[in-house]
């Protein structure tokens, strides 16, 4: 069992009467990738901001394994918004960070790993949004932190660029045992990267554990039947099955007795375009917190 590098105890944070975090307690293990997911406003950024001392909690406490006074020597924080001087070149900003953090990292190697070698002499104001995002992650890693916080990891990046970032992060996690805490709206990202996931729902931690454990725990041998009904007026017939409405007039039913339910749906309700499958992480989310995903796989509010 690895040590805890961060211990969060009973965190509470409100903004006026809005409760952003309600009694959150957990440990971050050294060398793990912890993925924090939740809908807009679930409390992800507030949690990270409180963990890195940007916000003061109303109650509770965050303990680090290392000396709190030198915390910023040990951690790297990438926030949602970045403000870079537009008239500086990529390499200038990198050198500045390197100097400020007294790092001996090989910048050429890093720029290459992030696919930014060609942009080395590009002015920040001329960079694409995706490249600004890559640069901000790169800068977070320049001081060779032991713990990295990445808020909204790959928002704004195309699928190829996202994969590249995932690989870089996995490598620094595996090679250097860097602990990584990421928030994301994308379940595929968390499923791919995270050793454990935390599901936040309206400021509450509703799940913390392994991805496969989440699926096993919440599915309990159930199958998922997804379908459309032939006659929308017949939707009341689905009530007794606890059907969850999805996009595009589709419904989802969880059942341990898929054969019987399927027969009933076909003969008594009238369904089409049906799929029977084992639950995925996406289904688990839908079940735990009523989340839905948009076409790109991003969590959207109910
Ligand atoms: N500085 C602030 N002042 C007032 N309210 C805030 C502030 N920061 C967050 N909140 C509120 O606290 C709640 C949690 O917000 P937070 O930004 O932590 O959620 P999030 O899960 O990161 O959302 P998103 O995915 O949209 O970034 C929201 O209701 C938000 O409006």
CATH of domain 217-300: 3.30.70
pLDDT at 15 exceeding the cut of 90:
yes
DSSP strand pairing (75-78 vs 223-229): unpaired
Question: Average model confidence (pLDDT) for the chain?
Answer: 87
Q: Do domains 4-215 and 217-300 have the same CATH topology?
A: no
Asked if residue 19 has pLDDT above 80, the reply is yes
pLDDT of residue 267: 93
**Where residue 47 falls among pLDDT bands split at 50, 70, 90?**
very high
DSSP character string of 248-299: TTEEEEEES-HHHHHHHIIIII-EEEEEEE---HHHHHHHHH--EE-TTSBE
Span of 97-106, 129-138, 266-275 with lowest mean pLDDT: 129-138
Pocket test for ligand 1, best of 11, 13, 15 (most atoms within 8 A of CB): 15
State residue 81's pLDDT score: 60
Distance from residue 141's CA to the centre of ligand 1 (Å): 25
Worst-scoring range by mean pLDDT, 10-14, 84-88, 274-278?
Answer: 84-88
Distance CA 93, CA 76 (A): 16
Residues, the chain, total?
A: 302
Mutate to test the pocket of ligand 1, among 19, 39, 45 (most ligand atoms within 8 A of CB): 45
Take residue 300 and report the two structure tokens written for it.
């959207």
Q: Does the domain formed by 4-215 have CATH 3.40.50.300?
A: yes
Share of the chain above pLDDT 90, in %: 48
pLDDT mean over 257-273: 93
Please report the pLDDT score of residue 7 as a whole number: 96
Distance 202 CA to ligand 1 centre (A): 10
Contact between 97 and 139 under an 8 Å Cβ cutoff? The reply is yes
Nearest Cα to Cα of residue 291 among 258, 247, 249, 225: 247
pLDDT, position 291: 64
- Mutate which of 11, 44, 152 for ligand 1 pocket (most atoms within 8 A of beta carbon): 44
Q: What percent of the chain has pLDDT over 70?
A: 93
pLDDT 10s digits, 120-154: 999 998 988 778 888 888 999 998 999 999 988 77
- Integer angstrom CA distances of residue 155 from 70, 162, 248, 298: 30, 9, 25, 10
Question: Measured between alpha carbons, how far is 287 from 283 in angstroms, rounded to an integer?
Answer: 6
Q: What is the pLDDT of residue 222?
A: 87
What is the rounded CA–CA span in Å between residue 244 and residue 237?
Answer: 13
More confident residue, 13 or 101: 13
- What does the alpha-carbon distance between residue 3 and residue 8 come to, in Å, rounded to a whole number? 14
pLDDT at 121: 95
The set of protein residues with a Cβ atom below 6 angstroms from ligand 1 is 15, 18, 20, 38, 40-46
Instruction: Say if residues 229 and 235 touch (Cβ distance below 8 Å).
Output: yes
Q: Indicate the pLDDT class of residue 166, thresholds 50, 70 and 90.
A: confident
Instruction: Give the distance (Å) from ligand 1 centre to CA of residue 144.
Output: 29
Residue 19 CA, ligand 1 centroid: distance in Å: 10
Domain ranges of the chain: 4-215, 217-300
What pLDDT, on a 0 to 100 scale, did the predictor assign at position 80? Answer: 58
> What's the pLDDT score for residue 1?
53
Least confident of 156-160, 272-276, 294-298: 294-298
145 or 218, higher pLDDT: 145
pLDDT in tens, 49-89: 999 999 999 999 999 998 878 888 899 888 656 667 778 89
Q: Does the structure show a pLDDT above 80 at 271?
A: yes
3-class DSSP state of 129: helix
Element (DSSP H or E) covering residue 229 = strand 223-229
CA-closest residue to ligand 1 atom 9? 46
For residue 290, the model assigns a pLDDT of 67
191 pLDDT tier (thresholds 50, 70, 90): confident
- Read off the pLDDT band of 269 (50, 70, 90): very high
For 225, residues 6+ apart whose C-beta sits below 8 A from its C-beta are 252, 253, 255, 258, 261, 262, 265, 274, 275, 276
């Amino acid at each position: 069992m690895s040590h805890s590098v961060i211990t969060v105890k009973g965190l509470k944070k409100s903004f006026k009467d809005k409760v952003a975090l309600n009694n959150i307690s957990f440990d971050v293990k050294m060398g793990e990738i912890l993925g924090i997911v939740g809908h807009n406003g679930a409390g992800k950024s507030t949690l990270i901001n409180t963990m890195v001392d940007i916000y003061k909690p109303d109650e509770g406490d965050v303990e680090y394994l290392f000396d709190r006074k030198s915390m910023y020597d040990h951690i790297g924080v990438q926030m949602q918004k970045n403000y870079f001087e537009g008239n500086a070149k990529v390499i200038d900003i990198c050198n500045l960070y390197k100097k400020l953090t007294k790092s001996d990292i090989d910048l050429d190697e890093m720029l290459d790993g992030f696919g930014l070698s060609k942009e080395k002499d590009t002015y920040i104001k001329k960079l694409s949004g995706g490249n600004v995002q890559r640069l901000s992650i790169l800068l977070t890693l320049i001081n060779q932190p032991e713990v990295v916080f990445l808020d909204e990891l790959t928002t704004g990046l195309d699928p190829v660029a996202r994969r590249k970032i995932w690989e870089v992060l996995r490598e620094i996690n595996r090679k250097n045992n860097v602990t990584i805490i990421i928030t994301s709206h994308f379940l595929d990202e968390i499923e791919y990267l995270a050793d454990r996931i935390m599901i936040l729902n309206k400021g509450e931690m509703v799940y913390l554990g392994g991805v496969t454990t989440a699926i096993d725990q919440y599915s309990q041998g159930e199958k998922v039947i997804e379908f459309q009904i032939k006659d929308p007026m017949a939707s009341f017939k689905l009530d007794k099955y606890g059907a969850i409405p999805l996009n595009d007039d589709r419904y989802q039913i969880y059942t341990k007795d898929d054969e019987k339910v399927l027969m009933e749906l076909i003969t008594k309700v009238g369904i089409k375009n049906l799929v029977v499958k084992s639950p995925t992480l996406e289904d688990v989310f839908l079940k735990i917190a009523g989340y839905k995903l948009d076409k790109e796989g991003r969590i959207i509010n109910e």
